[in-house]
Amino acid sequence: MTVTLNQPAPVAGTRVMGLGAYRPELVIDNEQICQWIDSSDEWIQQRTGIKTRHRAPKDVSVVDMAEGAAREALEHAGILGAQLGGVIVATVTHPFATPSAAADLAHRLGATPAAAFDISAACAGYCYGIGQADAMVRSGLSEYVLVVGVEKLSDFIDNHERTISFLLGDGAGAAIIGPSEVPGISPSILGSNGEKWEAVAMDSSLLNFRDALAQARETQDATELLNAENRYWPTLRQDGPTVFRWAVWEMAKVAQQALDAAGITADDLVAFVPHQANIRIIDEMVKQLKLPEHVMVGRDIVDAGNTSAASIPLAMHRLLKENPELSGGLALQIGFGAGLVYGTQVIRLP
Amino acid sequence: MADKNEILAGLAEIVNEETGLEVEEVQSDKSFTEDLDIDSISMMTIVVNAEEKFDVKIPDEEVKNLTTVGDAVDFIANAQG
């Protein structure tokens, strides 16, 4: 007789039950940025739309920010940390390859023994996390899953470089995913194009850093050592035009795929919340998707900068706070970034 | 297949749509960045629209070499085959 395995009982649908946000206290305006690079407030706003970005102080970690956002999301969702079956943290700036930010966060929230893992998918991380959480809940594996997009990009920025540093900020956004009688999350479109691996990336590995310091130490020259530290500490850089072209024209096609998979059209949306990479990317995507006038667009980048995995939940949290009438309506969210990777889905706003 | 004059005219229209510059300003000897003050982001939009209009491919790595309007016209003309 063949032995059969059990499988969890699937549920009819999933939904976003609550959102939370954490914005760190240090506000860096363009005047400050122009002390680091030769530029102007006018140029930065014209190129990127950014007026300010927030950055966390030294004593505030990725997990601290994640916790702040997560607690608000739990409260909004009306559940306790102890009820979580999964904790997913999307980040590329937790400074340990292991142990994960998620394991620490789960412990802090009283969620032990929930499944806990980090996702490294850059600016697509939050949408990857939502896709993963949707699958975990819908399959019956977990009842409630927390997804956090969080970054402390300021730890990995060279403020004097001109391709990306002035765009970047820190922060965290969180969502609680739970079961629903009707679908509240559409099929996720998750993908990659590793051919463009170098288009946006940290420019050095920890091994490069270690080896460069070792070599510099042999010279017994303090300046050599300082130069090696500055040159080889990993910092983010991008080929802006390549990323722009891919983000606008390729990602607009992917966003359309998400609408098609959801079985809706742009007319059915109340909101569009793309990754807050650059206001010109956002504006061009709106044009490419031919979004009707009534669709509100997240443009949190103006004040928050580009916060990678945190940008979509932060923008969505703000949009809902400023426009509570959007609650219950459909929002298209799309993340895209280093990898290159992308993730998108339509959700019903909590 | 368009000849170089047609390509220049088509390109001028695209530049005008993207930047508001008058089509007469878009001359072969003009540098995109120095003379026409077109930044790299607008340049990409112009490139993608030109690809569609003239049914050619202009890879990212080639865009950096298109310093003047004339460079772009020549590239498109050659790419048409």
Angle at A118 between CA A261 and CA A124, to 5 degrees: 40
**Residue A240 CB neighbours (<10 A):** 21
> Residue A209: is it exposed, middle or buried by C-beta count within 10 angstroms (0-12/13-18/19+)?
middle
Residues of chain A contacting B43 with CB distance shorter than 8 Å? 241
State how far residue A284 is from chain B, nearest Cα, in angstroms: 9
User: What do you get for the CA distance between the two ends of chain A, in Å?
Assistant: 48
* Greatest alpha-carbon span in chain B: 31
B47 in contact with A at a CB cutoff of 8 Å? yes
Q: Please state the rounded mean pLDDT for residues A214-227.
A: 92
Tens digits of per-residue pLDDT, A115-144?
999 999 999 999 999 999 999 999 999 999
**Residue A223 CB neighbours (<10 A):** 9
B40 in contact with A at a CB cutoff of 8 Å? yes
Residues of A carrying an active site annotation: 123, 275, 306
DSSP code of B59? -
Length of chain B: 81
Q: Please state the rounded mean pLDDT for residues A155-166.
A: 95
**Are A249 and B48 inside 8 Å of each other by CB?**
yes
Three-state DSSP string of chain A: CCCCCCCCCCCCEEEEEEEEEECCCEEEEHHHHCCCCCCCHHHHHHHHCCCEEEECCCCCCHHHHHHHHHHHHHHHHCCCHHHCCEEEEECCCCCCCCCCHHHHHHHHCCCCCCEEEEECCHHHHHHHHHHHHHHHHHCCCCCCEEEEEEEEHHHHCCCCCCCCHHHECEEEEEEEEEEECCCCECCCEEEECHHHCCCEEECCCHHHHHHHHHHHHHHCCHHHHHHHHHHHCCCEEECHHHHHHHHHHHHHHHHHHHHHHHCCCHHHEEEEEECCCCHHHHHHHHHHHCCCCCCEECCCHHHHCECHHHHHHHHHHHHHHHCHHHCCCEEEEEEEECCCEEEEEEEECC
Q: Please state the rounded mean pLDDT for residues A67-71.
A: 98
Q: Identify the pLDDT of residue B2.
A: 80
Distance of alpha carbon A128 from alpha carbon A342, whole angstroms: 8
Mean pLDDT, chain A, integer = 97
pLDDT confidence band for B1 (50 / 70 / 90): confident
Distance of alpha carbon A264 from alpha carbon A57, whole angstroms: 43
Residues of chain B contacting A239 with CB distance shorter than 8 Å? 60
Indicate which of A251, A278, A280, A285 best probes the interface with B, i.e. most B CBs within 10 Å of its own CB: A280
Return the closest-CA partner of residue A307 out of A63, A53, A118: A53
Residues of chain A contacting B48 with CB distance shorter than 8 Å? 245, 248-249
**The residue type at B31:** S
Give me the residue from B41, B48, B63 closest to A280, CB to CB: B41
**Are A280 and B47 inside 8 Å of each other by CB?**
no
Q: Is the pLDDT of residue A350 over 80?
A: yes
Return the closest-CA partner of residue A140 out of A28, A272, A8: A8
Tens digits of per-residue pLDDT, A291-320?
999 999 999 999 999 999 999 999 999 999
Residues of chain A contacting B40 with CB distance shorter than 8 Å? 240-241, 244
> Token match 């059209």: residue?
A265
Tens digits of per-residue pLDDT, B30-53?
999 999 999 989 999 999 999 999
Q: Please state the rounded mean pLDDT for residues A37-48.
A: 95
Mean pLDDT, chain B, integer = 93
Q: Please state the rounded mean pLDDT for residues A257-271.
A: 98
Q: Identify the pLDDT of residue A1.
A: 79
B33 in contact with A at a CB cutoff of 8 Å? no
The yes-or-no answer on residue B39 being catalytic is: yes
B39-60 burial code (b ≥16 CB/10 A, e <16): bbbbbbbbbbbbbeebebebeb
**Are A244 and B44 inside 8 Å of each other by CB?**
yes
Tokens of A292: 């009707």
Q: What percent of chain A has pLDDT over 90?
A: 99
Residue in chain B nearest A250 by alpha carbon: B48
Q: Is the pLDDT of residue B81 over 90?
A: no
3-state SS class at B21: coil
**The residue type at A207:** L
Give me the residue from A47, A248, A249 closest to B39, CB to CB: A47
Residues of chain B contacting A249 with CB distance shorter than 8 Å? 48
Q: Please state the rounded mean pLDDT for residues A146-165.
A: 96
A178-196 burial code (b ≥16 CB/10 A, e <16): bbbeebbbbbbbbbeeeeb
Tokens of A245: 């072209």
Q: Residue A110: beta bridge partners?
A: none
User: Backbone phi, then psi, for A331, in 5-degree steps?
Assistant: -125, 135
3-state SS class at B31: strand
Q: Could you tell me how many CB contacts below 8 A there are between chain A and chain B?
A: 26
Q: What percent of chain A has pLDDT over 70?
A: 100
| Alpha carbon A191 to its chain's center | 15
Q: Are strands A86-90 and A115-119 parallel, antiparallel or unpaired?
A: parallel
| Alpha carbon A169 to its chain's center | 11
Give me the residue from A240, A249, A284 closest to B40, CB to CB: A240
